Amino acid sequence: MRPGAAVASRLGLAVRDLDLLEQALVHSSWLHEHPDAAAGHNERLEFLGDAVVSLAISEALYSRHPSDDEGLLSTRRAAIVSTAGLSRLAARIQLGESLLLGEGESQRSGRRRPSLLASSFEALVGALYLDLGFDRVRAWLVALAEPELTADSPIGVLKSPKSRLQEHTQRRTGGRPDYRIREETGPDHEKLFTVEVWVDGEPIGVGQGLSRRVAETAAAAAAIEHLRTVPRDGAA
């Protein structure tokens, strides 16, 4: 069975363009190693899928939470379409096992890396949109994300670590967290960032990631955990 057919069967969708679906599974690292084996990688589809996911999730949240204001709706959406949220949806459909990754990316546990899963999920949605149209993709996506769409989580849980840390510093001093790159290692196309976050003149969290944004989020999460264990004025 073709990889695209296996994915379509798992999704329960009558996919017509298997070539397009299979392109959504091609990571740039795999294409670099097999330049003649595919028409292209999935980054253009990722760009399109990002917009489709955002619109479908926004519309669903607007309908399901009529009493929420714009701020809370935005917070709910951010929690779902974040790297962590999209990687959770990707894991729900076992997307990682179907991705075509370069040898190095695969050895570095790329199939489980949240950022890679999230971007691949967006590429998949982009391919499905081009093949099946918005209405069918929206129905599938909303059904897949139903637990997140209907969750009535506290707003503090929904907010990202960077947002929660910034609110904490604004309450205490009116300042903002200061994120500083401590180290960059690896080649340009696979660079690993180590970021330190400073609050009130001292470093309180360190995080790593394959992009500066991911590393900053990890540092903020570490800082929040630090603030929970070290008594200070005001809680995060």
Active site residues: 50, 122
The amino acid at residue 76 is: R
Specify the length of the chain in residues. Answer: 236
The amino acid at residue 28 is: S
Helix (H) or strand (E) holding 192: strand 192-199
Tokens of 122: 């967006």
Residues 145 and 77: their CA atoms lie apart, in Å, by 11
Tokens of 111: 């199939």
DSSP for 156-185?
Answer: HHHS-HHHHHHHHHHHHTS---EEEEEEEE
Three-class secondary structure assignment of 61-108: HHHHCCCCCHHHHHHHHHHHHCHHHHHHHHHHCCCHHHCECCHHHHHC
